Amino acid sequence: MNAKLNITVMLGGPSAEREVSLRSGAAVAAALRELGHTVTELDPQPGRWQLPPATDVVLLALHGTYGEDGTVQRELDALGVPYTGCDAEASRVAFDKILTKQRCLAAGVPTPRYEVFREATGTWPDAWRPPVVLKPARQGSSVGLEFVDRREDFPAGLTRALAHDREVLMEARIAGMETTVGILDGVPLPVVEVQPRAGGYDYTNKYTAGNTEYFCPARLSPETTAAVQTAALGAYRAVGARDYARVDVMVSKDEQPFVLEVNTLPGMTALSLLPKAAAAAGLAFGPLCQRLVDLALRRRPAARRD
């Protein structure tokens, strides 16, 4: 039997992913209440929030800027309150797709070729061939994602992507299977295969019920599954992650893994992929939420432990 705790769930926030975060937070809060904990839901606005004084631990259900980029983590560190997920530095690195690329390459983790753009240009870059993907460097949940299949579509796509961030990552688009790997306390969970019914895994397909099929475990050979999990774990370690994260990995047609990004506060909605992977490993949603809390409590100051 777990000790009953005063848990503050941070959800919502100021980012472009606010609505998804509200759903994640509501699901987590309900699961923790079901386990007997006292749960306060806190929708933080920068500089205008306070934790309930009896808070034992904060469960972060925030997504996107402020909540996932290391900002709220630094604020919680200053308060000395344990919180779920990665620390401020790992959050900052993982939220920046360019820094993540650099860390992965330095660690020998396979990742697609890339280039960085900081201003709109009407010129297709030399030595590149379509298709490519354009990604704002510091957004999540596929916000601002642009798929470019023809050279003439590049200028408009880059302009749209730059509307979401001052830097845009252009990445070679890998043909093959989209997968994601949850990592829980340094251990990879079963691989989830993501198959949009039409188009790519963009914001609409990610959050619209029925638009995407999921297979867990993924329909991969044991050897390829192990390679995908190894690449995901390598990326998790490269950014300095802790407790849990979700790593997106493309598997090429010749079954080679390519890490796309590391999500340090993955979604916890009914459609979310980390809960799917945990369930496939035998860990239901409520116990998963409890596990995240338990991992955070390991960092509680000794004087506050039971």
Asked if 6 is an active-site residue, the reply is no
For every residue of 89-133, which 3-state class applies, written as one string?
HHHHHHHCHHHHHHHHHHCCCCCCCEEEECCCCCCCCCCCCCCEE
Q: Which residue among 68, 92, 246, 272 is the active-site one?
A: 246
Asked if 19 is an active-site residue, the reply is no
Q: Which residue among 25, 144, 248, 272 is the active-site one?
A: 248
Q: Which residue among 15, 24, 263, 272 is the active-site one?
A: 263
Q: Which residue among 17, 56, 87, 178 is the active-site one?
A: 17
Residue with tokens 């509200």: 22
Cβ atoms 85, 24 nearer than 8 A? no
Q: Could you write out the DSSP letters of every residue in 216-281?
A: SS-S--HHHHHHHHHHHHHHHHHTT--SEEEEEEEEETTS-EEEEEEESS---STT-HHHHHHHHT
Asked if 221 is an active-site residue, the reply is no
Asked if 246 is an active-site residue, the reply is yes
Q: Which residue among 207, 242, 244, 272 is the active-site one?
A: 207
Q: Which residue among 21, 91, 141, 272 is the active-site one?
A: 141
Q: Which residue among 70, 144, 182, 267 is the active-site one?
A: 267
Pairing, β 114-117 against β 168-172? antiparallel
Segment (H or E) for 204: helix 203-207
Cβ neighbour number for residue 256 with a 10 Å cutoff: 15
Burial zone of 187 (CB within 10 Å; 0-12 exposed, 13-18 middle, 19+ buried): exposed
Burial zone of 217 (CB within 10 Å; 0-12 exposed, 13-18 middle, 19+ buried): middle
Return the active site residues.
17, 141, 207, 246, 248, 261, 263, 267
